[in-house]
A and B are shown apart, each in its own frame.
Chain A
Amino acid sequence: MLRQFVEGTKNLLIGMGVTFRNMLSEPVTFQYPDVKRDMPARYRGRHFLNRDENGLEACVGCSLCSANCPVGCIHVVAAENDPENPVSAGERYAEVYEINLLRCIYCGYCEEACPVDAVVLREHYELADYDRDCYIAEKDDLLVYPEPNRFRHDILGNTIRE
């Protein structure tokens, strides 16, 4: 009985010690709108389409991403390249490339399926908007690599891959 009492009191004091040490430690809070998190390098956020070294679109319009997408949110229509004025390095290019960002589950299978590393998911996580129509990301939205959220800068818009 007495032993139990002493043990119990000791445990209560240990618990209070833990919270006291927590009080002295640095808070883990990110003050979100002011401070934005550095997302991990492999974080799967918003999609982007890469360009190659010559500034051409990397996508060759093979539709493998669309075929591999578990929720079917990618829509690709391919077209033949004009040899004089090519859009992409391959024979064909994607005339229409649309991703429904609301339907997407951000699994990254499109990224894995892509044979030319054209479509990538990057660390942009602020995807809120007021209008559902804004969530249909078209080629214009995907090819433009907007100012990264003060994270990694790459003017060319390519993900950094070794």
Chain B
Amino acid sequence: MIDGIFQFIDENTYLLLGIIKAVVIASALLGVVPLLVWLERRLMGRFQVRLGPNRVGPYGLGQPISDSIKLLFKESIIQNSADKFLFHLAPVVVVFTAIVSFAMIPMTGHFEFFDVKMGLWAANVNSGILFVFAISGMGIYGMVLAGLSSNNKYSLMGGLRSSAQMISYELTLGLAALCVIVHTGSLNLVDMVERQSSWPNALNILNPPLMIAFVLFFIAGIAETNRAPFDLPEAEQELVAGFHTEYTGMKFAMFFMGEYINMVTMSALITILFLGGWNSYILPDWAVVGFFVFAFKVSALLCVFIWLRSTFPRIRYDRLMTFGWKFLVPIAIINLFLGAAIRVI
């Protein structure tokens, strides 16, 4: 019996390791969400010369917990005219795609663990960046389905807006990432970081065409994650709450979870593509240090996301489209040509 179990483990080591890693990463990601909600509310408060939530627990750290308890016990209301199946499916799609797209994100370099060489990522696919884009692109379905199944004009408008916005800004995002792909010659995210490990190529952002690509990627990334100033799908003043107007309780919270996980994924992607991933260049080259360096870079980017949100007003819808198609996309294409030319020469 016990021999059988050992044999099973021996035969399926990689499968079991993969399952454990997937569970650990997914649950850690879900654990990051409340922290991020707390960080956002506190930091927004400070940017607006207030304190933010500080009553529940030390520094208000208990606030997200009490919020989630409240949301869990809330009544789940579904209006009769809604399409029940799609209505339930939509938040699941949002959270699922958000978590799965994080599977490709490498958080630290290779390390030895019980004589097994492994890395802190759920999967290391050769075309990892394409996978991330494909899966996070599927997140649109969640929003569109939510808007469609709610049978509410505001929700539908929100869903339509989010689809239009995501499609237009995904182009810029892809073109900006293509610059990095051309520069490193690999679609693998681990390779991309390892190319940046030594000085001549260190920090992709220091490379002129990639510097522009970084700015483009960052702007498109904010638009992709539906954050202010590009949060038109959920523009409170016009659309009540956009595609999640009709959602209550935990289903409502799941949309937020999806949004925050997408934010983390986008920051991690920016870190990997442009900011050298887990390379610190000065600290010792250990996996643990690498992880903390990576976490530091990602949280710094998250703070910038929050900073932008608390600074800028939402832009008008036609301006959003004009900005995306007439400004960002041409620059991204020219920048890609430039980057490719420099690479060839």
A binds B: yes
Where the two chains meet, the residues of A that have a C-beta atom closer than 8 Å to any C-beta of B are 12, 15-16, 18-20, 22-23, 25, 27-29, 31
Give chain B interface residues in 273-315, CB to chain A under 8 Å. 307-308, 310-312
Assuming A20-B307, A27-B45, is B50 touching A15 (CB within 8 A)? Answer: no
Task: Write the nearest CB–CB distance from B336 to chain A, whole angstroms.
Answer: 19
Our count of residue pairs bridging A and B at CB distance below 8 angstroms stands at 32
Size of interface on B: residues with Cβ below 8 Å to A: 13
Cβ contacts under 8 Å, A19 to chain B: 47-48, 307, 310-311
Q: Do most interface residues of chain A lie in helix, strand or loop, or is the interface mixed?
A: helix
Task: Write the nearest CB–CB distance from B303 to chain A, whole angstroms.
Answer: 10
Give the distance in Å from the alpha carbon of A84 to the alpha carbon of B46 in the complex: 65
Task: Write the nearest CB–CB distance from A26 to chain B, whole angstroms.
Answer: 8
Give the distance in Å from the alpha carbon of A23 to the alpha carbon of B49 in the complex: 6
Q: Is B49 touching A22 in the complex (CB atoms < 8 A)?
A: yes
Chain B residue, CB-CB nearest to A5: B327
Q: Is B49 touching A25 in the complex (CB atoms < 8 A)?
A: yes
Q: Is A15 touching B49 in the complex (CB atoms < 8 A)?
A: no
Give the distance in Å from the alpha carbon of A99 to the alpha carbon of B310 in the complex: 46
Cβ contacts under 8 Å, A18 to chain B: 311
Chain A residue, CB-CB nearest to B55: A31
Give the distance in Å from the alpha carbon of A9 to the alpha carbon of B220 in the complex: 16
Say if the beta carbon of B51 comes within 8 Å of chain A.
yes
Task: Write the nearest CB–CB distance from A15 to chain B, whole angstroms.
Answer: 5
Give the distance in Å from the alpha carbon of A29 to the alpha carbon of B46 in the complex: 10
Give the distance in Å from the alpha carbon of A12 to the alpha carbon of B311 in the complex: 9
Cβ contacts under 8 Å, A15 to chain B: 311-312
Task: Write the nearest CB–CB distance from A21 to chain B, whole angstroms.
Answer: 10
Assuming A12-B312, A15-B312, is B49 touching A28 (CB within 8 A)? Answer: yes
Give the distance in Å from the alpha carbon of A28 to the alpha carbon of B51 in the complex: 8
Task: Write the nearest CB–CB distance from A103 to chain B, whole angstroms.
Answer: 34
Assuming A12-B312, A15-B312, is B46 touching A27 (CB within 8 A)? Answer: yes
Task: Write the nearest CB–CB distance from A11 to chain B, whole angstroms.
Answer: 10
Q: Which of the residues A16, A27, A28, A29 comes within 8 Å of B307, measured between beta carbons?
A: A16
Q: Is A16 touching B51 in the complex (CB atoms < 8 A)?
A: no
Contact with A along B13-42 (1 / 0, CB 8 A): 000000000000000000000000000000
Cβ contacts under 8 Å, B43 to chain A: 23
Task: Write the nearest CB–CB distance from A10 to chain B, whole angstroms.
Answer: 14
